Each structure stands twice: as structure tokens, then as C-alpha cells.
A and B are shown apart, each in its own frame.
Chain A
Amino acid sequence: MDKFTVLTAIAAPLPEENIDTDKIIPARFLKTTKRSGLGVHAFDGMRYRPDGTENPDFVLNREPYRKAEILITYDNLGCGSSREHAPWALLDFGIRCVIAPSFADIFNNNCFKNGILPIALPREVCTELMDDARQGANSRLTVDLARQVIIRPDGREVPFDVDPLRRQLLLEGLDDIGQTLQHEKAITTFEQRRAQAQPWIPHIVLD
């Protein structure tokens, strides 16, 4: 997982509530074998017209937001199905940070697991940040995770909260696996003890 320290990037405003994971990635794309490559299908139903062409009105189809790395929405982002494909699709599109008044629980977890920082802020603040985002290419937001602030284009700062353990994992670029592997010595010791206590446990080896 990539580290998340300071992100200065274009933010895309998507002023909607209850954007569910079916909207983020429709079910028909789940029979895939990849975590990557889902970016082209992110927001499929909003992003493309029935004939498959791009919907020019959708924010992520417009410049400069095609290169957005921050997404700002209204309440309850990521509700519905628990599919991990939703953060996979966002990440593959290039989104590293999502800002909303609230997030669905599982989606929130799945974001952290995949290196995306979800920031919950009051609705009025989200509205202000959306206004910033509408100023175009020169109007970037900076998210500084170590200091826990968003720096607006005019230099004003917006502080935010984040779970300390998860903050640490993101700063160090550790996923759950990376975190567990910090205990690798304990795992190895456990394996040695187990091999002595239960030497009969078979290894699966095919002839």
C-alpha cells in the first residue's frame, strides 16, 4: 500500500447524498479477477451514457477533474453492498482521499484497508470545499495527514479527526498485512513452538 502523507491535488465536487457502492461499481463488474483495472468502470452508470459514450455533464469526465485525486460528496458515501470493489475502483481511477459529512461503516473500513483516506467534515465545510474545488485547475487542496489539516487554496486550514491507529498505518503505508508482518518474529516463534509441540501436523505436498 502507498504511504499517505501530504497530498496536493485536484478535488472533484460530487454534491450528492447516499452514493452507494452499486453506483461506485455496478455488480456486473464483480466477476473480474483483478483489483486493478476497475477505474474505467467507476461510477459507470453516471459516467457513461447507455450507448457507452461519456456523459459530458459528469464531473469526472470534465477537465481538470479527470485527474482528480480527492472526491467531495454529501452524506453517507459508500452505503449498500460491502463489496471491496468500490474502493478498488476509486483507487484505480486515482482517488486517494474522500471527503464527506459521513461514510457507510464498511466502506469507511475498506477505504483505510486500501490506502484511501476518508475525512468526515460538517456539511457546510464540505460545501465550502466544493466551492474551492469548482475554481478549477489552479485551485488545489492539500491534505496533510500528519498535521491533520486540509489547506484550502487561499491558505486557510481546516482541521480534521482520524483514528490514531489508522492514521499511523496510512502514514507508514502499512496495510493490515504490513502491520501484522511487523509481528513476524512472533509468528515465526509461534511456528517453531508449534512444530515442536505438534510435530505430527502434516505438510501438504503433492506428488
Chain B
Amino acid sequence: MENMANSVARIPNLVDWSTGEVRLMSAKCNSCGTYFFPKEHYQHRPGCSREGVEDVLLPSRGKLASYTVQHYPCPPPFKTEQKITPYGIGLVEFEAEKIQVAGIITDTDLKSLELGMEMETTTLTMYVNEEKQQVVTWAFRAVK
């Protein structure tokens, strides 16, 4: 993991790097077993008591369940200092948690992307803010 001491997520409560690995901040319902991302995106099984929802971090690694390559800049409020197009967007599956999460793929060799390949969670620096902090989002990259 890069030095993240001077990094801040553009929106809080989505991505965590306090454990030394970059991991997505999810929540698990201990009644119906469903994982949520973002953690406030509740999607309980009908009839669930909704008791015992706890914050959990998703594993750092998953498998590429789908992807696309975006050829045009995403309009505002998306914002990056560097031109990132074309960029990959992946759906990464966390098998045990039975959830797939979407995110930008930081790999630049987009031709090498393949369904099923192992991916790890990382961050993408979008811009530097007025406090000179690197403003990041979560992202994925192929495990080399």
C-alpha cells in the first residue's frame, strides 16, 4: 500500500486503509446475512427483523465479475486532475459475502482485463485539495 498518511476520501465511510490494506466499508445484517455497500444501502431480505447490523470491512481481494471501458470523461461532479479516459470500471465479486461492488480500475493495460481474474482493492487519487491532501476514491487493480 502507498503512503496514505496525507490522503482523504472524497466521501467518508466508504473506503478504509487503517489496517494496512485498502478495504471497502460494508455492513452485514446478522439476521438475514445480507452485506451492504455503501453500508447505508440497506437491502434486507423481506421479513428480516433487521436486528444486528454491524459494520464490517470487505476482504481486500475479489474476482472480476464484469467490466467495461469508459471512453468519455465522466461529467461533474466527478473530478480528476489528470485525464483518466479511457478507464476501466469493474464489478468485483466478494464470494463469501455474496456481493459485487463497482469501482474504477486503475490498471492502464485495459486489454489484459479478463473475467474471473483476481483483483485487489486500492485507491485512486482524484485531485489535491486546498489542504494539500490527496483526495481519493476506492478503486480496483489486477493482482500481479
* A-B interaction: no
